[in-house]
Amino acid sequence: MAADEQTIPSVWARPRKREQPALSRAQIVAEAVRLLDADGLEALSMRKLGTRLDAGATSLYRHVANRDELIELVVDEVYGEIRVPEVADPDNWREPVTACARSVRSMILRHPWIASVLGEVGLSHLGPNVMRLNDRMLALLEAAGFPADEADRAISAIVAYVTGMGISEAAWLTTVARSGQSEREWAERLRPAAERAAEPYPRLRNGFSAQTSPRRAREEKFDYGLERILDGLETRRG
């Protein structure tokens, strides 16, 4: 068989089957997202999802070939939550770009399981929500005064930063959630051990005394990094 005739292992690379009236792909994806949000990636299986939908696994396989395709679909679904404002004034381009970056971060924090699948979801970039998002982000940067090739690279830099920070935050918040405590309570419980570990390192030790609330510290750290990236991009605009 010729290489171009071989099946591409992605839900986005094969014809979509006719929907069953009793169970749609949209229903499957929505329930999969709810399952992931509640129980994490380890809990996701075609059998368990079928049980939650009161349908056999065979019914699911009419819409998705396997678990990998299901993950492609749920990733595209949550990317559809990201909002990209329009640029009303090119000289005020940082405000809508910041709003978009914050929307990406918020999506990751709402769905912390995504940290485990980014980079391992096949051809997720072919999903309609991801394609629409990329196109709107390009339009946002072009309207801000960036040439097309520069806009594409700027988006890559911004998304890489936001994704990296978001994944770290999601991992921390997942640990907090498992503790059954609030973020502040968990941080205070951890603090004595962290201070003992930092005792031989004066710079780290001094940092503990200046810390604010965990949530505020996360917000400030995210904002600082994003602002520095936008400072650098400002020199490339136009």
**pLDDT tens digits, one per residue of 94-109:** 999 999 999 999 999 9
Same-domain pairing of 73 and 179:
no
Task: Classify burial at 77, counting beta carbons within 10 Å of its beta carbon; exposed 0-12, middle 13-18, buried 19 or more.
Answer: middle
Q: Are 7 and 122 in contact (CB under 8 A)?
A: no
Q: What is the pLDDT of residues 151-177, one digit of tens each?
A: 999 999 999 999 999 999 998 988 898
Q: Which tops the pLDDT comparison, 30 or 87?
A: 30
Same-domain pairing of 115 and 182:
yes
Q: Do the domain assignments include residue 85?
A: no
Give me the domain span that covers residue 112.
90-234
Same-domain pairing of 68 and 156:
no
Q: Do the domain assignments include residue 94?
A: yes
DSSP 8-state class, residue 55:
S
CATH code where residue 23 lies: 1.10.10.60
| CA neighbor of 170 nearest in space, from 178, 237, 148 | 178
Please report which confidence band the pLDDT of residue 13 belongs to, taking 50, 70 and 90 as the band edges. Answer: confident
Whole-model pTM?
0.84
CATH code where residue 111 lies: 1.10.357.10
